[in-house]
Structure 1
Amino acid sequence: MSFDDLNSLGKQREPFLFICDFKAENLKIIRLVELDKYDIEYSIDENYNIKQYNNKIKKYPLEFVEYKKKFDYVQERIKSGDTYLLNLTAPTPIKTELSLKEIFQNANAHYKLRYEDKENKFVCFSPEKFIQIKDDYIHTYPMKGTIDASVINAEQKILDNKKEMAEHVMVVDLLRNDLSIVANDVHVKRFRYVNKIEAGDKKLLHVSSHISGSIGENWHERIGDILKSLLPAGSISGAPKKSTLEIIKEVENYERGYFSGVFGVYDGESLDSGVMIRFIEKINEGYIYKSGGGITLDSDVKSEYKELLDKVYLP
Protein backbone atom coordinates (compact mmCIF):
# COMPACT_ATOMS: atom_id res chain seq x y z
CA MET A 1 0.00 0.00 0.00
CA SER A 2 1.15 3.56 -0.65
CA PHE A 3 0.43 7.12 0.45
CA ASP A 4 -1.42 7.55 -2.86
CA ASP A 5 -3.87 4.90 -1.64
CA LEU A 6 -4.60 7.12 1.36
CA ASN A 7 -5.40 9.97 -1.01
CA SER A 8 -7.84 7.73 -2.89
CA LEU A 9 -9.59 6.54 0.26
CA GLY A 10 -9.83 10.09 1.55
CA LYS A 11 -11.35 11.27 -1.73
CA GLN A 12 -13.99 8.54 -1.34
CA ARG A 13 -14.46 9.41 2.35
CA GLU A 14 -13.72 5.75 3.14
CA PRO A 15 -12.79 5.23 6.85
CA PHE A 16 -9.47 3.50 7.48
CA LEU A 17 -6.73 2.69 9.98
CA PHE A 18 -3.15 3.38 8.95
CA ILE A 19 0.09 2.21 10.55
CA CYS A 20 3.47 3.55 9.40
CA ASP A 21 6.99 2.67 10.51
CA PHE A 22 9.59 5.21 11.66
CA LYS A 23 11.29 5.51 8.26
CA ALA A 24 7.94 5.89 6.43
CA GLU A 25 8.92 2.91 4.26
CA ASN A 26 6.31 0.39 5.44
CA LEU A 27 2.73 1.62 5.38
CA LYS A 28 -0.19 -0.58 6.31
CA ILE A 29 -3.73 0.56 5.45
CA ILE A 30 -6.82 -1.29 6.65
CA ARG A 31 -10.33 -0.20 5.73
CA LEU A 32 -12.35 -0.15 8.94
CA VAL A 33 -15.05 -2.36 7.41
CA GLU A 34 -12.37 -5.06 7.00
CA LEU A 35 -10.69 -4.67 10.38
CA ASP A 36 -12.12 -7.91 11.79
CA LYS A 37 -10.08 -9.85 9.22
CA TYR A 38 -6.87 -8.86 11.01
CA ASP A 39 -5.31 -9.51 14.42
CA ILE A 40 -5.41 -5.81 15.27
CA GLU A 41 -6.88 -3.78 18.11
CA TYR A 42 -6.75 -0.02 18.55
CA SER A 43 -8.11 2.62 20.88
CA ILE A 44 -8.03 6.40 20.65
CA ASP A 45 -9.54 7.85 23.80
CA GLU A 46 -8.65 11.10 25.55
CA ASN A 47 -10.98 10.34 28.48
CA TYR A 48 -10.02 6.77 29.36
CA ASN A 49 -10.74 5.42 32.83
CA ILE A 50 -7.64 4.51 34.84
CA LYS A 51 -7.35 0.75 35.42
CA GLN A 52 -5.32 -0.90 38.15
CA TYR A 53 -3.54 -4.13 37.22
CA ASN A 54 -0.36 -6.11 37.80
CA ASN A 55 1.92 -4.03 35.60
CA LYS A 56 5.27 -5.05 37.06
CA ILE A 57 8.05 -5.76 34.58
CA LYS A 58 11.72 -6.66 34.85
CA LYS A 59 14.14 -4.56 32.83
CA TYR A 60 17.49 -5.59 31.38
CA PRO A 61 18.73 -2.27 29.99
CA LEU A 62 21.75 -1.21 28.01
CA GLU A 63 24.67 -0.65 30.39
CA PHE A 64 25.39 2.99 31.24
CA VAL A 65 28.90 2.79 29.76
CA GLU A 66 27.45 1.68 26.40
CA TYR A 67 24.79 4.37 26.46
CA LYS A 68 27.46 6.98 27.24
CA LYS A 69 29.41 6.01 24.11
CA LYS A 70 26.36 6.71 21.98
CA PHE A 71 25.56 9.90 23.89
CA ASP A 72 29.13 11.18 23.47
CA TYR A 73 29.03 10.48 19.73
CA VAL A 74 25.81 12.49 19.41
CA GLN A 75 27.43 15.33 21.36
CA GLU A 76 30.38 15.32 18.94
CA ARG A 77 28.02 15.59 15.99
CA ILE A 78 26.13 18.44 17.68
CA LYS A 79 29.40 20.31 18.21
CA SER A 80 30.24 19.69 14.54
CA GLY A 81 26.98 21.36 13.54
CA ASP A 82 25.45 18.23 11.97
CA THR A 83 22.45 18.24 14.33
CA TYR A 84 21.23 20.35 17.22
CA LEU A 85 18.54 18.00 18.51
CA LEU A 86 18.55 14.20 18.19
CA ASN A 87 16.18 11.68 19.72
CA LEU A 88 18.44 8.84 20.90
CA THR A 89 16.67 5.53 21.54
CA ALA A 90 17.63 2.01 22.59
CA PRO A 91 15.99 -1.42 22.97
CA THR A 92 15.54 -2.84 26.47
CA PRO A 93 14.76 -6.56 26.94
CA ILE A 94 11.97 -6.99 29.51
CA LYS A 95 10.09 -9.79 31.18
CA THR A 96 6.37 -9.76 31.94
CA GLU A 97 3.75 -12.45 32.45
CA LEU A 98 1.27 -10.52 30.32
CA SER A 99 0.54 -11.23 26.66
CA LEU A 100 0.45 -8.43 24.08
CA LYS A 101 -3.33 -8.65 24.15
CA GLU A 102 -3.42 -8.31 27.94
CA ILE A 103 -1.02 -5.39 27.84
CA PHE A 104 -3.24 -3.66 25.27
CA GLN A 105 -6.43 -4.28 27.21
CA ASN A 106 -5.05 -3.04 30.54
CA ALA A 107 -2.74 -0.19 29.56
CA ASN A 108 -3.85 3.33 30.42
CA ALA A 109 -3.08 5.52 27.42
CA HIS A 110 -4.58 7.98 24.95
CA TYR A 111 -3.40 5.99 21.91
CA LYS A 112 -3.24 2.20 22.00
CA LEU A 113 -2.51 -0.27 19.22
CA ARG A 114 -1.89 -4.02 19.12
CA TYR A 115 -0.73 -5.43 15.80
CA GLU A 116 0.19 -9.06 15.10
CA ASP A 117 0.99 -10.78 11.80
CA LYS A 118 3.67 -13.20 10.56
CA GLU A 119 6.36 -10.51 10.45
CA ASN A 120 5.47 -8.06 13.22
CA LYS A 121 4.06 -8.44 16.70
CA PHE A 122 3.88 -5.34 18.87
CA VAL A 123 1.79 -3.19 21.16
CA CYS A 124 2.08 0.52 21.88
CA PHE A 125 0.36 2.70 24.47
CA SER A 126 1.28 6.26 23.66
CA PRO A 127 0.49 9.58 25.35
CA GLU A 128 1.63 11.61 22.32
CA LYS A 129 -0.60 12.88 19.53
CA PHE A 130 0.95 13.15 16.05
CA ILE A 131 -1.56 15.16 14.03
CA GLN A 132 -5.28 15.73 14.23
CA ILE A 133 -7.29 17.18 11.34
CA LYS A 134 -10.78 18.42 12.07
CA ASP A 135 -13.01 21.16 10.61
CA ASP A 136 -10.33 21.95 7.98
CA TYR A 137 -7.65 22.67 10.61
CA ILE A 138 -4.56 20.59 11.35
CA HIS A 139 -3.17 20.34 14.89
CA THR A 140 -0.04 18.83 16.39
CA TYR A 141 1.03 18.57 20.02
CA PRO A 142 4.79 17.99 20.37
CA MET A 143 5.77 16.45 23.70
CA LYS A 144 9.28 17.27 24.95
CA GLY A 145 10.37 17.34 28.58
CA THR A 146 9.85 14.61 31.17
CA ILE A 147 10.24 14.52 34.95
CA ASP A 148 9.23 12.17 37.77
CA ALA A 149 6.11 13.73 39.32
CA SER A 150 7.27 12.75 42.82
CA VAL A 151 10.17 15.23 42.64
CA ILE A 152 9.55 18.22 44.91
CA ASN A 153 8.18 21.13 42.82
CA ALA A 154 8.44 18.88 39.75
CA GLU A 155 6.25 21.01 37.48
CA GLN A 156 8.14 24.21 38.23
CA LYS A 157 11.49 22.46 37.89
CA ILE A 158 10.73 21.03 34.45
CA LEU A 159 9.35 24.37 33.21
CA ASP A 160 12.36 26.31 34.57
CA ASN A 161 14.97 23.84 33.25
CA LYS A 162 16.96 25.68 30.56
CA LYS A 163 17.98 22.49 28.74
CA GLU A 164 14.38 21.27 28.59
CA MET A 165 13.20 24.70 27.46
CA ALA A 166 15.77 24.80 24.65
CA GLU A 167 14.87 21.30 23.49
CA HIS A 168 11.17 22.07 23.52
CA VAL A 169 11.64 25.30 21.57
CA MET A 170 13.63 23.40 18.93
CA VAL A 171 10.89 20.81 18.48
CA VAL A 172 8.12 23.42 18.37
CA ASP A 173 10.06 25.36 15.73
CA LEU A 174 10.66 22.17 13.71
CA LEU A 175 7.00 21.13 13.77
CA ARG A 176 5.78 24.66 13.06
CA ASN A 177 7.94 24.59 9.94
CA ASP A 178 6.72 21.08 9.07
CA LEU A 179 3.06 22.11 9.32
CA SER A 180 3.80 25.14 7.14
CA ILE A 181 4.59 22.72 4.29
CA VAL A 182 0.98 21.51 4.23
CA ALA A 183 -1.03 24.29 5.92
CA ASN A 184 -1.48 28.07 6.08
CA ASP A 185 -1.59 30.47 9.02
CA VAL A 186 0.44 28.09 11.21
CA HIS A 187 0.89 29.33 14.76
CA VAL A 188 1.52 28.14 18.31
CA LYS A 189 -1.82 28.19 20.14
CA ARG A 190 -0.49 27.06 23.51
CA PHE A 191 3.16 26.89 24.60
CA ARG A 192 4.65 24.50 27.19
CA TYR A 193 1.84 23.11 29.32
CA VAL A 194 2.17 20.09 31.61
CA ASN A 195 0.30 16.77 31.58
CA LYS A 196 0.54 14.01 34.16
CA ILE A 197 0.98 10.46 32.83
CA GLU A 198 0.53 7.16 34.68
CA ALA A 199 3.87 5.35 34.37
CA GLY A 200 3.59 2.00 36.09
CA ASP A 201 4.40 2.42 39.78
CA LYS A 202 5.13 6.13 39.34
CA LYS A 203 3.74 9.21 37.62
CA LEU A 204 5.58 11.31 35.04
CA LEU A 205 5.03 14.91 33.99
CA HIS A 206 5.33 15.67 30.26
CA VAL A 207 5.60 19.12 28.69
CA SER A 208 3.63 19.73 25.48
CA SER A 209 2.67 22.57 23.13
CA HIS A 210 -0.21 23.01 20.67
CA ILE A 211 0.45 24.13 17.07
CA SER A 212 -2.26 24.50 14.42
CA GLY A 213 -2.90 25.77 10.91
CA SER A 214 -5.57 25.96 8.21
CA ILE A 215 -5.45 22.89 5.95
CA GLY A 216 -8.23 23.72 3.46
CA GLU A 217 -11.46 21.85 2.70
CA ASN A 218 -9.84 19.57 0.08
CA TRP A 219 -7.53 17.93 2.64
CA HIS A 220 -9.40 14.61 2.44
CA GLU A 221 -7.98 13.84 -1.00
CA ARG A 222 -4.50 14.89 0.16
CA ILE A 223 -4.26 12.78 3.32
CA GLY A 224 -1.42 10.66 1.98
CA ASP A 225 0.54 13.67 0.73
CA ILE A 226 0.10 15.44 4.05
CA LEU A 227 1.34 12.48 6.09
CA LYS A 228 4.26 11.78 3.76
CA SER A 229 5.39 15.41 4.04
CA LEU A 230 5.40 15.30 7.85
CA LEU A 231 7.09 11.94 8.43
CA PRO A 232 9.16 10.93 10.30
CA ALA A 233 7.65 12.83 13.23
CA GLY A 234 9.96 15.64 14.33
CA SER A 235 9.54 14.99 18.07
CA ILE A 236 11.13 11.53 17.83
CA SER A 237 13.74 12.24 15.14
CA GLY A 238 15.30 15.67 15.56
CA ALA A 239 16.53 18.69 13.66
CA PRO A 240 17.60 19.38 11.04
CA LYS A 241 15.67 16.29 10.10
CA LYS A 242 17.65 14.95 7.11
CA SER A 243 21.13 14.95 8.67
CA THR A 244 19.77 13.89 12.06
CA LEU A 245 18.16 10.79 10.53
CA GLU A 246 21.56 9.81 9.10
CA ILE A 247 23.18 10.15 12.51
CA ILE A 248 20.41 8.10 14.14
CA LYS A 249 21.12 5.34 11.63
CA GLU A 250 24.82 5.43 12.53
CA VAL A 251 24.57 5.61 16.30
CA GLU A 252 21.56 3.53 17.34
CA ASN A 253 22.76 0.33 15.68
CA TYR A 254 19.34 -1.36 15.70
CA GLU A 255 16.14 -1.12 13.69
CA ARG A 256 13.38 0.94 15.23
CA GLY A 257 10.84 -0.66 12.89
CA TYR A 258 7.36 0.55 13.79
CA PHE A 259 8.58 2.06 17.06
CA SER A 260 8.37 5.87 16.82
CA GLY A 261 6.30 5.56 13.66
CA VAL A 262 2.68 6.71 13.68
CA PHE A 263 -0.77 5.20 13.53
CA GLY A 264 -4.14 6.83 13.14
CA VAL A 265 -7.76 6.59 12.12
CA TYR A 266 -9.71 8.48 9.47
CA ASP A 267 -13.49 8.25 9.98
CA GLY A 268 -14.57 10.03 6.80
CA GLU A 269 -14.85 13.40 8.52
CA SER A 270 -11.71 13.82 10.63
CA LEU A 271 -8.33 12.22 11.27
CA ASP A 272 -6.59 11.53 14.57
CA SER A 273 -3.16 9.94 14.99
CA GLY A 274 -0.53 9.19 17.60
CA VAL A 275 3.23 8.72 17.70
CA MET A 276 4.10 5.10 18.52
CA ILE A 277 6.21 5.60 21.63
CA ARG A 278 5.86 3.38 24.76
CA PHE A 279 6.36 0.38 22.51
CA ILE A 280 6.82 -3.35 23.16
CA GLU A 281 7.83 -5.75 20.40
CA LYS A 282 7.57 -9.53 20.68
CA ILE A 283 10.52 -11.48 19.25
CA ASN A 284 11.56 -15.13 19.48
CA GLU A 285 13.61 -14.47 22.61
CA GLY A 286 10.85 -12.57 24.42
CA TYR A 287 9.88 -8.91 24.65
CA ILE A 288 11.82 -5.79 23.66
CA TYR A 289 10.78 -2.38 24.99
CA LYS A 290 12.03 0.55 22.89
CA SER A 291 12.46 4.00 24.43
CA GLY A 292 14.57 7.15 24.28
CA GLY A 293 14.81 10.90 24.67
CA GLY A 294 15.99 14.08 23.01
CA ILE A 295 19.68 15.04 23.18
CA THR A 296 20.92 18.63 22.90
CA LEU A 297 24.26 20.28 23.62
CA ASP A 298 23.14 20.99 27.19
CA SER A 299 22.02 17.41 27.94
CA ASP A 300 23.41 15.54 30.94
CA VAL A 301 24.25 11.91 30.21
CA LYS A 302 23.12 10.55 33.60
CA SER A 303 19.79 12.36 33.38
CA GLU A 304 19.21 11.14 29.82
CA TYR A 305 20.04 7.56 30.78
CA LYS A 306 17.58 7.77 33.68
CA GLU A 307 14.90 9.11 31.33
CA LEU A 308 15.52 6.20 28.94
CA LEU A 309 14.86 3.77 31.82
CA ASP A 310 11.96 5.73 33.31
CA LYS A 311 10.12 5.41 29.99
CA VAL A 312 10.24 1.61 30.19
CA TYR A 313 6.98 0.87 32.00
CA LEU A 314 3.44 -0.42 31.65
CA PRO A 315 1.01 2.44 32.31
Structure 2
Amino acid sequence: MEQANLPVANWLPLTGEWSSSQTQLGYEQNVIKIQELIAQGYIYQVNLCRVLTNTSENSLLGLANQLAIDNPAPYASYLKLPGLEIASASPELFLSRSGDFIKSSPIKGTAKDENFGDKDESENIMIVDLMRNDFSRITTAGSVDVPRLLGIEKHPGLFHLVSDITGKLKANTEWPEILNALTPAGSVSGAPKSSALKTISDLEQKERGPYCGVIGWSEGEQAIMSVGIRIFWSHQDGQIHFGTGAGITWKSDAQSEWQETQLKSEKLISIAGGKR
Protein backbone atom coordinates (compact mmCIF):
# COMPACT_ATOMS: atom_id res chain seq x y z
CA MET A 1 0.00 0.00 0.00
CA GLU A 2 1.57 3.26 -1.14
CA GLN A 3 1.32 6.26 1.16
CA ALA A 4 0.81 9.84 0.06
CA ASN A 5 0.43 13.17 1.80
CA LEU A 6 -3.00 14.77 2.02
CA PRO A 7 -3.46 17.49 -0.64
CA VAL A 8 -3.11 20.94 0.89
CA ALA A 9 -6.27 23.02 1.32
CA ASN A 10 -7.26 25.83 3.66
CA TRP A 11 -10.26 25.83 5.99
CA LEU A 12 -12.46 28.88 6.48
CA PRO A 13 -13.88 28.61 10.03
CA LEU A 14 -17.64 28.38 10.32
CA THR A 15 -19.59 31.33 11.70
CA GLY A 16 -23.08 29.87 12.07
CA GLU A 17 -24.63 28.23 15.12
CA TRP A 18 -24.49 24.48 15.72
CA SER A 19 -27.82 22.77 16.38
CA SER A 20 -28.14 19.48 18.26
CA SER A 21 -30.45 16.58 17.47
CA GLN A 22 -31.10 16.29 21.21
CA THR A 23 -31.37 19.09 23.76
CA GLN A 24 -29.65 18.69 27.10
CA LEU A 25 -32.99 17.96 28.76
CA GLY A 26 -33.96 15.44 26.08
CA TYR A 27 -30.59 13.71 26.26
CA GLU A 28 -30.70 13.44 30.04
CA GLN A 29 -34.25 12.05 29.88
CA ASN A 30 -33.03 9.40 27.44
CA VAL A 31 -30.25 8.47 29.86
CA ILE A 32 -32.91 7.82 32.50
CA LYS A 33 -34.97 5.75 30.04
CA ILE A 34 -31.92 3.59 29.33
CA GLN A 35 -31.36 3.08 33.05
CA GLU A 36 -34.97 1.94 33.37
CA LEU A 37 -34.28 -0.66 30.67
CA ILE A 38 -31.15 -1.71 32.55
CA ALA A 39 -33.23 -2.18 35.71
CA GLN A 40 -35.59 -4.41 33.72
CA GLY A 41 -32.67 -6.58 32.58
CA TYR A 42 -33.17 -5.68 28.90
CA ILE A 43 -29.82 -3.97 28.45
CA TYR A 44 -26.50 -3.44 30.23
CA GLN A 45 -25.00 -0.54 28.31
CA VAL A 46 -26.01 1.75 25.44
CA ASN A 47 -23.93 4.29 23.56
CA LEU A 48 -26.31 7.26 23.30
CA CYS A 49 -25.37 9.77 20.60
CA ARG A 50 -26.50 13.09 19.22
CA VAL A 51 -25.67 14.83 15.96
CA LEU A 52 -24.60 18.48 15.69
CA THR A 53 -25.36 20.34 12.45
CA ASN A 54 -24.19 23.62 10.93
CA THR A 55 -24.27 25.22 7.49
CA SER A 56 -21.26 25.12 5.15
CA GLU A 57 -20.60 24.91 1.43
CA ASN A 58 -16.86 24.36 1.95
CA SER A 59 -14.99 21.20 1.04
CA LEU A 60 -13.98 19.22 4.12
CA LEU A 61 -10.48 18.73 2.73
CA GLY A 62 -9.43 22.01 4.33
CA LEU A 63 -10.94 20.90 7.64
CA ALA A 64 -9.11 17.58 7.42
CA ASN A 65 -5.85 19.50 7.05
CA GLN A 66 -6.70 21.75 9.99
CA LEU A 67 -7.58 18.75 12.17
CA ALA A 68 -4.24 17.14 11.32
CA ILE A 69 -2.48 20.28 12.56
CA ASP A 70 -4.56 21.13 15.64
CA ASN A 71 -5.87 17.71 16.69
CA PRO A 72 -3.54 14.97 15.42
CA ALA A 73 -5.15 11.54 15.70
CA PRO A 74 -3.74 8.05 15.12
CA TYR A 75 -6.47 7.14 12.62
CA ALA A 76 -7.10 10.49 10.98
CA SER A 77 -8.43 10.30 7.43
CA TYR A 78 -10.17 12.14 4.62
CA LEU A 79 -12.69 10.50 2.33
CA LYS A 80 -14.62 11.87 -0.63
CA LEU A 81 -17.27 9.83 -2.43
CA PRO A 82 -20.19 10.88 -4.62
CA GLY A 83 -22.58 12.65 -2.26
CA LEU A 84 -20.42 12.14 0.85
CA GLU A 85 -17.33 13.79 2.31
CA ILE A 86 -15.69 12.88 5.64
CA ALA A 87 -12.93 14.52 7.68
CA SER A 88 -11.97 12.19 10.51
CA ALA A 89 -9.87 12.62 13.64
CA SER A 90 -10.65 9.14 14.95
CA PRO A 91 -8.57 7.93 17.91
CA GLU A 92 -10.02 4.40 17.87
CA LEU A 93 -8.83 1.26 16.09
CA PHE A 94 -11.74 -0.86 14.94
CA LEU A 95 -9.66 -3.59 13.33
CA SER A 96 -6.15 -4.25 12.16
CA ARG A 97 -5.31 -7.39 10.23
CA SER A 98 -1.98 -8.91 9.28
CA GLY A 99 -2.46 -12.32 7.73
CA ASP A 100 -4.60 -14.32 10.14
CA PHE A 101 -3.85 -12.06 13.15
CA ILE A 102 -6.53 -9.50 14.04
CA LYS A 103 -6.72 -6.82 16.71
CA SER A 104 -9.29 -4.33 17.97
CA SER A 105 -8.76 -1.52 20.51
CA PRO A 106 -12.13 -0.30 21.81
CA ILE A 107 -12.30 3.01 23.65
CA LYS A 108 -14.67 3.23 26.60
CA GLY A 109 -14.11 5.80 29.32
CA THR A 110 -13.41 9.50 28.78
CA ALA A 111 -12.13 12.09 31.25
CA LYS A 112 -10.35 15.44 31.41
CA ASP A 113 -7.48 13.84 33.34
CA GLU A 114 -6.15 10.40 34.25
CA ASN A 115 -8.55 9.93 37.16
CA PHE A 116 -11.12 7.43 35.89
CA GLY A 117 -13.94 6.16 38.09
CA ASP A 118 -15.49 2.73 38.59
CA LYS A 119 -18.16 3.55 36.02
CA ASP A 120 -15.53 4.10 33.30
CA GLU A 121 -13.71 0.88 34.12
CA SER A 122 -16.85 -1.26 34.26
CA GLU A 123 -18.03 0.30 30.98
CA ASN A 124 -14.75 -0.65 29.29
CA ILE A 125 -14.75 -4.18 30.66
CA MET A 126 -18.32 -4.79 29.47
CA ILE A 127 -17.33 -3.87 25.91
CA VAL A 128 -14.17 -5.98 26.11
CA ASP A 129 -16.34 -8.98 27.02
CA LEU A 130 -18.66 -8.20 24.10
CA MET A 131 -15.72 -7.89 21.69
CA ARG A 132 -14.19 -11.14 22.93
CA ASN A 133 -17.47 -12.85 22.16
CA ASP A 134 -17.58 -11.26 18.69
CA PHE A 135 -13.98 -12.35 18.03
CA SER A 136 -14.74 -15.92 19.13
CA ARG A 137 -17.15 -16.29 16.20
CA ILE A 138 -14.35 -15.97 13.64
CA THR A 139 -11.17 -17.02 15.47
CA THR A 140 -9.61 -20.33 16.42
CA ALA A 141 -10.41 -21.82 19.82
CA GLY A 142 -8.25 -20.40 22.59
CA SER A 143 -6.66 -17.68 20.46
CA VAL A 144 -8.65 -14.69 21.76
CA ASP A 145 -6.55 -12.66 24.19
CA VAL A 146 -6.66 -9.29 25.97
CA PRO A 147 -3.01 -8.17 26.12
CA ARG A 148 -3.99 -4.70 27.36
CA LEU A 149 -6.89 -3.97 29.71
CA LEU A 150 -7.85 -0.45 30.85
CA GLY A 151 -4.85 1.27 29.34
CA ILE A 152 -4.81 5.07 29.61
CA GLU A 153 -4.23 7.08 26.44
CA LYS A 154 -3.82 10.86 26.21
CA HIS A 155 -5.46 12.58 23.27
CA PRO A 156 -5.88 16.31 22.54
CA GLY A 157 -8.03 17.75 25.33
CA LEU A 158 -8.93 14.47 27.04
CA PHE A 159 -7.92 10.99 28.21
CA HIS A 160 -9.38 7.62 27.20
CA LEU A 161 -9.46 4.11 28.63
CA VAL A 162 -8.43 1.68 25.90
CA SER A 163 -8.18 -2.12 25.81
CA ASP A 164 -6.78 -4.46 23.14
CA ILE A 165 -8.41 -7.69 21.96
CA THR A 166 -6.50 -10.01 19.63
CA GLY A 167 -7.14 -13.33 17.94
CA LYS A 168 -6.16 -15.70 15.13
CA LEU A 169 -8.66 -16.07 12.31
CA LYS A 170 -10.06 -19.47 11.43
CA ALA A 171 -8.77 -20.85 8.14
CA ASN A 172 -10.45 -19.47 5.02
CA THR A 173 -12.32 -16.73 6.89
CA GLU A 174 -13.33 -14.11 4.34
CA TRP A 175 -13.95 -10.39 4.79
CA PRO A 176 -17.77 -10.63 4.71
CA GLU A 177 -17.65 -13.05 7.66
CA ILE A 178 -15.27 -10.81 9.59
CA LEU A 179 -17.32 -7.66 9.13
CA ASN A 180 -20.60 -9.45 9.79
CA ALA A 181 -19.26 -10.72 13.12
CA LEU A 182 -17.72 -7.45 14.30
CA THR A 183 -19.97 -4.64 13.06
CA PRO A 184 -21.27 -2.39 14.36
CA ALA A 185 -18.41 -1.80 16.78
CA GLY A 186 -19.28 -2.70 20.36
CA SER A 187 -17.93 0.58 21.71
CA VAL A 188 -20.50 2.61 19.75
CA SER A 189 -23.48 0.29 20.18
CA GLY A 190 -23.68 -1.43 23.57
CA ALA A 191 -24.42 -4.74 25.23
CA PRO A 192 -26.17 -6.95 24.43
CA LYS A 193 -25.62 -5.58 20.94
CA SER A 194 -29.04 -6.47 19.51
CA SER A 195 -30.89 -4.84 22.42
CA ALA A 196 -28.60 -1.81 22.28
CA LEU A 197 -29.29 -1.27 18.59
CA LYS A 198 -33.04 -1.44 19.18
CA THR A 199 -32.76 1.09 22.01
CA ILE A 200 -30.63 3.42 19.89
CA SER A 201 -33.19 3.26 17.10
CA ASP A 202 -35.99 4.10 19.54
CA LEU A 203 -34.27 7.00 21.35
CA GLU A 204 -31.96 8.79 18.95
CA GLN A 205 -33.84 11.33 16.88
CA LYS A 206 -31.50 11.55 13.89
CA GLU A 207 -29.78 8.92 11.77
CA ARG A 208 -26.08 8.60 12.57
CA GLY A 209 -25.08 8.39 8.92
CA PRO A 210 -21.36 7.52 8.61
CA TYR A 211 -20.81 8.45 12.27
CA CYS A 212 -19.95 5.34 14.32
CA GLY A 213 -19.34 3.36 11.14
CA VAL A 214 -16.01 1.98 9.93
CA ILE A 215 -13.41 3.90 7.91
CA GLY A 216 -10.21 2.38 6.60
CA TRP A 217 -8.55 0.25 3.96
CA SER A 218 -7.99 -3.42 3.21
CA GLU A 219 -5.76 -5.13 0.69
CA GLY A 220 -5.85 -8.91 0.66
CA GLU A 221 -5.07 -10.06 4.20
CA GLN A 222 -3.87 -6.65 5.40
CA ALA A 223 -6.09 -3.93 6.82
CA ILE A 224 -6.35 -0.96 9.15
CA MET A 225 -9.83 0.31 9.97
CA SER A 226 -10.96 2.93 12.46
CA VAL A 227 -14.23 3.50 14.27
CA GLY A 228 -15.93 6.51 12.69
CA ILE A 229 -15.94 8.73 15.76
CA ARG A 230 -14.70 12.34 15.97
CA ILE A 231 -15.72 12.81 12.36
CA PHE A 232 -17.22 15.68 10.41
CA TRP A 233 -19.28 14.72 7.40
CA SER A 234 -21.29 16.34 4.66
CA HIS A 235 -23.63 15.06 1.99
CA GLN A 236 -22.56 18.07 -0.08
CA ASP A 237 -25.95 19.66 0.52
CA GLY A 238 -24.86 22.81 2.33
CA GLN A 239 -24.76 21.18 5.77
CA ILE A 240 -21.94 19.83 7.93
CA HIS A 241 -22.46 17.33 10.76
CA PHE A 242 -20.54 16.12 13.80
CA GLY A 243 -21.50 13.26 16.12
CA THR A 244 -20.83 12.89 19.82
CA GLY A 245 -22.02 10.40 22.43
CA ALA A 246 -21.46 8.65 25.74
CA GLY A 247 -21.80 5.14 27.12
CA ILE A 248 -24.77 4.83 29.46
CA THR A 249 -24.73 2.29 32.31
CA TRP A 250 -26.60 1.79 35.58
CA LYS A 251 -23.96 3.96 37.30
CA SER A 252 -24.39 6.86 34.87
CA ASP A 253 -25.26 10.34 36.04
CA ALA A 254 -27.42 11.95 33.34
CA GLN A 255 -25.86 15.41 33.59
CA SER A 256 -22.33 13.98 33.60
CA GLU A 257 -23.06 11.98 30.45
CA TRP A 258 -24.25 15.14 28.70
CA GLN A 259 -21.05 16.87 29.79
CA GLU A 260 -19.04 13.98 28.35
CA THR A 261 -20.63 14.58 24.96
CA GLN A 262 -19.67 18.23 25.31
CA LEU A 263 -16.09 17.33 26.23
CA LYS A 264 -15.70 15.05 23.22
CA SER A 265 -16.94 17.72 20.84
CA GLU A 266 -15.39 20.83 22.40
CA LYS A 267 -11.90 20.69 20.88
CA LEU A 268 -13.00 19.65 17.40
CA ILE A 269 -15.89 22.11 17.16
CA SER A 270 -13.49 24.90 18.16
CA ILE A 271 -11.31 23.93 15.19
CA ALA A 272 -14.23 23.84 12.75
CA GLY A 273 -15.63 27.12 14.07
CA GLY A 274 -19.20 28.18 14.70
CA LYS A 275 -21.24 28.97 17.79
CA ARG A 276 -22.31 26.26 20.23
TM range (shorter): 0.7 to 0.9
Q: 1:139 aligns with which of 99, 103, 107?
A: 103
Do the aligned partners of 1:89 and 1:291 also contact (CA within 8 Å) in 2? yes
Measured at CA, do residues 260 and 226 of structure 1 come closer, stay the same or move farther in structure 2, by a change above 3 Å?
same
| Uncovered stretches (5+) of structure 1, i.e. residues with no partner | 1-14, 16-31, 33-40, 44-52, 149-153
Do the aligned partners of 2:56 and 2:238 also contact (CA within 8 Å) in 1? no
Question: Over the residues paired in the alignment, what is the CA RMSD in angstroms?
Answer: 2.6
Match of 1:100 in 2: 60
Do the aligned partners of 1:86 and 1:296 also contact (CA within 8 Å) in 2? yes
Aligned-pair CA distance for 1:120 = 2.5
Do the aligned partners of 2:90 and 2:226 also contact (CA within 8 Å) in 1? yes
Measured at CA, do residues 95 and 70 of structure 1 come closer, stay the same or move farther in structure 2, by a change above 3 Å?
same
Aligned-pair CA distance for 1:72 = 1.6
Q: Give the Cα–Cα distance (whole angstroms) in 2 for the partners of residues 228 and 177 of structure 1.
A: 13
Measured at CA, do residues 105 and 288 of structure 1 come closer, stay the same or move farther in structure 2, by a change above 3 Å?
same
Match of 2:33 in 1: 73
More deviation, 283-292/137-146: 283-292
After superposition, residues 116-195 of structure 1 pair within 5 angstroms as 116-148=80-112, 154-155=113-114, 157-158=115-116, 161-184=117-140, 185-195=143-153
Match of 2:42 in 1: 82
Matched positions, count: 254
Work out whether 1:63 is the aligned partner of 2:23: yes
CA deviation digits over 1:118-147, x for unaligned, max 9? 432332220000011114211111111011
Measured at CA, do residues 54 and 194 of structure 1 come closer, stay the same or move farther in structure 2, by a change above 3 Å?
farther
Q: 1:304 aligns with which of 249, 257, 260?
A: 257
Match of 2:154 in 1: 196
Match of 1:205 in 2: 159
Q: 1:113 aligns with which of 62, 66, 77?
A: 77
Q: Give the Cα–Cα distance (whole angstroms) in 2 for the partners of residues 230 and 282 of structure 1.
A: 26
TM-score (norm 1): 0.73
Match of 1:231 in 2: 183
More deviation, 252-261/68-77: 68-77
Match of 2:194 in 1: 242
Secondary structure, in 3 states, of the residue corresponding to 1:226?
Answer: helix
Aligned-pair CA distance for 1:56 = 8.4
Measured at CA, do residues 307 and 76 of structure 1 come closer, stay the same or move farther in structure 2, by a change above 3 Å?
same
Q: Give the Cα–Cα distance (whole angstroms) in 2 for the partners of residues 106 and 268 of structure 1.
A: 32
Q: Give the Cα–Cα distance (whole angstroms) in 2 for the partners of residues 73 and 285 of structure 1.
A: 34
Taking every aligned residue pair, what percent have the same amino acid on both sides?
32
